[in-house]
């Protein structure tokens, strides 16, 4: 009899230790304050290295590659050109945009914080440091 009571209590306790992960609230990326100064070398270059060139042997958006015609994002001027001609807005910021592409060797979706940093940099005038 003691065994059955122990078994029942054990099951009752352990069933309480489990949780439904669908009820969990995941932390979101912090919202950047507009007073944060975004710089090309400190903030933008790491994003470009992660998503646009330099990872996994990917050579998109560098001047030496065959795809360099699509923009050289190793330089601030190359990226500012994409901001000025509107392609940053339509291809990156727009939820229907196609960058980063799904076939990329790099991560295929920007994090919320990376998007916030890019948008803040654009809103601050795309300074090249």
Read off the pLDDT of residues 80-93 as tens digits, 9 standing for 90 and up. Answer: 988 999 988 888 88
Residue 19 has pLDDT above 70, yes or no: no
State how many domains the chain has.
1
96 in any annotated domain: yes
40 in any annotated domain: yes
7 in any annotated domain: no
Q: For residues 86 and 33, what is the distance between their CA atoms, to the nearest angstrom?
A: 24
Closest by Cα among 39, 105, 44, 97 to 73: 44
87 in any annotated domain: yes
9 in any annotated domain: no
Q: For residues 18 and 109, what is the distance between their CA atoms, to the nearest angstrom?
A: 31
71 in any annotated domain: yes
Q: What was the pLDDT predicted at 119?
A: 92
Using DSSP, state whether 128 is helix, strand or coil. Answer: coil
Question: Which token pair is 3?
Answer: 């065994």
Residue at token pair 């001027």: 77
Q: Provide the residue range defining the domain that includes 68.
A: 32-123
- The per-residue DSSP string of 74-102 comes to TSHHHHHHHHHTTHHIIIIISTT---S-T
70 in any annotated domain: yes
Read off the pLDDT of residues 27-82 as tens digits, 9 standing for 90 and up. Answer: 455 566 777 899 999 999 898 888 877 555 455 555 554 444 467 777 888 889 88
């Amino acid at each position: 009899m003691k065994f059955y009571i122990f078994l029942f209590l054990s099951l009752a306790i352990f069933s309480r230790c489990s949780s439904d992960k669908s009820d969990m609230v995941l932390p979101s990326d912090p919202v950047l304050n507009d007073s944060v100064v975004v710089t090309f070398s400190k903030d933008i270059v790491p994003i470009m290295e992660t998503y646009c060139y330099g990872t996994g042997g990917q050579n998109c958006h560098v001047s030496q590659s065959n795809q360099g015609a699509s923009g050289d994002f190793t330089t601030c001027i190359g990226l500012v050109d994409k901001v000025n001609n509107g392609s940053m807005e339509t291809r990156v910021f727009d939820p229907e945009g196609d960058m980063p592409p799904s076939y990329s060797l790099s991560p295929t979706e920007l994090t919320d914080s990376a998007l916030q940093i890019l948008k803040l940099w654009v809103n601050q005038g795309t300074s090249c440091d």
